[in-house]
Amino acid sequence: MLGGMDSARPGPLNAITDVAGLRVGHVTRDEPGWLTGVTVVLPPAGTVGSVDVRGGAPGTRETDLLDPTRLVDGVDAVVLSGGSAFGLASADGVLRESYADGRGWPVNAEDESEVVPIVPAAVILDLGRGGEFEHTPCAEDGARAWATAAGGPVAQGCVGAGTGARAGGLKGGVGTASALVDTESGPVVVGAIVVVNAMGSPCAADGSLYAAGWALADEFAQVPEPDPAAARAYWAALAAAEAELRAGTATTIGVVATDATLTKVQCRKLAEVSHDGLARALSPVHTAYDGDTIFTLATGGRDAPGELDQVHLQTAAADCVTRAIGHAMLAATSVDRTADGGVALSSWADALTR
């Protein structure tokens, strides 16, 4: 590791909510005919943000506004949703609740109540996985996710935007991780939350999770051993289903947050480097069928890091993304929706371990 990363360790919750003031809310739609949901990340007021979008099939909202050359630098909420382009409607509910809470960019110097909330969003393609193609998150789901947002432990696996997620033919989901990084001005917190819905696989040739090799402390110590016969069967089935996977799987999306003080340009660089975490945990990644998107948030709760400390922070962020993908795959549980006309998906543990 880089010198400043030798002391990196997970935060108390090993979750993005280790960043002070950050809240996460999920709405899970898994009733008959449904397999989708919404996840909302709410930062404290004054948070600066940016984004990096890769892959050939993104579904996003307000990402152009987060370019460093654009006027607005504040972010009031980030929405991660299922439902492909239909799911972007969930951001309308988050926008409405944020406005009611007084959050937003001021648009009238004479009336402080006239604000427009900045609510960027990204979606995964999970259409029809619960059985009904038209069952997608709406504005009301976004509003409910906003209302449930809280600090503390973050639910992982088949919840929120990860409810209908799939990764390399296995059940995907939501995962999170954090790290404390020592800098010249003191420890800085960085965390990630991801929705793993990739065309690529999270598994190495022997069936083990790529992400497990990036553990901090003993977070993956209890991961079961893959079964060689199951791994061979998995790869054979994956090769046979490649065309179907391309048609029905797309995109890993997420948020990286830190309590460091960063400019919008620095947030953009943090988002760019954080994509390295996807490449370490999924293969292939950033394909023509994925719309991989990473948002970044800097709350400004701690001092601005120096140039070398920014490298350490970026490295830790990418590692958090990798580790969060591992946690998502471990927390995901198998689903069997064949009776409802949906997609049956096995978890990594059920499909590939002894």
Residue 354's H or E segment, with its range, is: none
Give the C-alpha separation, 159 to 182, whole Å.
Answer: 32
| Interval 94-104: pLDDT, tens | 999 999 999 99
In sequence order, what are the beta bridge partners of 335?
345
Report the pLDDT value the prediction gives residue 240, as an integer from 0 to 100: 74
DSSP, collapsed to helix, strand or coil, labels residue 200 as coil
Query: In angstroms, what is the C-alpha Rg of the chain?
Result: 19
Is 80 exceeded by the pLDDT of residue 6? no
Give the C-alpha separation, 75 to 43, whole Å.
Answer: 8
Q: What integer best gives the mean pLDDT of the chain? A: 93
Read out DSSP for 3-48?
GGGTT-B--SSSSGGGSTT-EEEEEEE-STB--EEEEEEEPPTT-E
Give the C-alpha separation, 255 to 194, whole Å.
Answer: 7
| Interval 245-275: pLDDT, tens | 665 567 899 999 999 999 999 999 999 999 9
Angle between helices 307-331 and 264-281 (to 10 degrees): 40
Report the pLDDT value the prediction gives residue 69, as an integer from 0 to 100: 96
Over range 279-284, report the average pLDDT: 96
- Distance from chain centroid for Cα 322: 11
Per-position b or e across 182-219, b if 16+ CB within 10 A of its CB: bbeeeebbbbbbbbbbbbbbbbeeebbbbbbebbbeeb
Is 70 exceeded by the pLDDT of residue 338? no
Confidence of residue 48 (pLDDT cuts 50, 70, 90): very high
Dig out the tokens for 277 from the structure.
């975490």
Give the C-alpha separation, 151 to 192, whole Å.
Answer: 14
Say if residue 58 is preceded by a cis peptide, omega within 30 of 0: no
Q: What is the pTM of this model?
A: 0.96
Confidence of residue 4 (pLDDT cuts 50, 70, 90): very low
Judging by beta carbons within 10 Å of its beta carbon (0-12, 13-18, 19+), is residue 122 exposed, middle or buried? Answer: buried
| Interval 294-328: pLDDT, tens | 999 999 999 999 999 999 999 999 999 999 999 99
Report the pLDDT value the prediction gives residue 3, as an integer from 0 to 100: 41
Helix H segments across 185-338? 228-240, 242-248, 264-281, 307-331
Over range 134-162, report the average pLDDT: 98
Give the C-alpha separation, 150 to 152, whole Å.
Answer: 7
Report the pLDDT value the prediction gives residue 340, as an integer from 0 to 100: 61
Give the C-alpha separation, 259 to 20, whole Å.
Answer: 7
Is 60 exceeded by the pLDDT of residue 151? yes
* C-alpha dist (Å) from residue 212 to 36, 223, 224: 27, 8, 11
Over range 37-41, report the average pLDDT: 98
Report the pLDDT value the prediction gives residue 7, as an integer from 0 to 100: 66
Give the C-alpha separation, 45 to 73, whole Å.
Answer: 12
Beta carbons within 8 Å of 279's beta carbon, 6+ residues apart: 285, 286
- Percent of the chain predicted with pLDDT > 90: 87
Beta carbons within 8 Å of 306's beta carbon, 6+ residues apart: 183, 184, 185
- Percent of the chain predicted with pLDDT > 70: 94
What is the end-to-end Cα distance of the chain in Å, rounded?
Answer: 32
Report the pLDDT value the prediction gives residue 158, as an integer from 0 to 100: 98
Domains identified in the chain and CATH numbers: 3-352 (3.60.70.12)
Residue the block writes with tokens 């701690």: 302
| Interval 194-252: pLDDT, tens | 999 999 999 999 999 999 999 999 999 989 999 999 999 999 988 877 766 665 567 89
Report the pLDDT value the prediction gives residue 2, as an integer from 0 to 100: 46
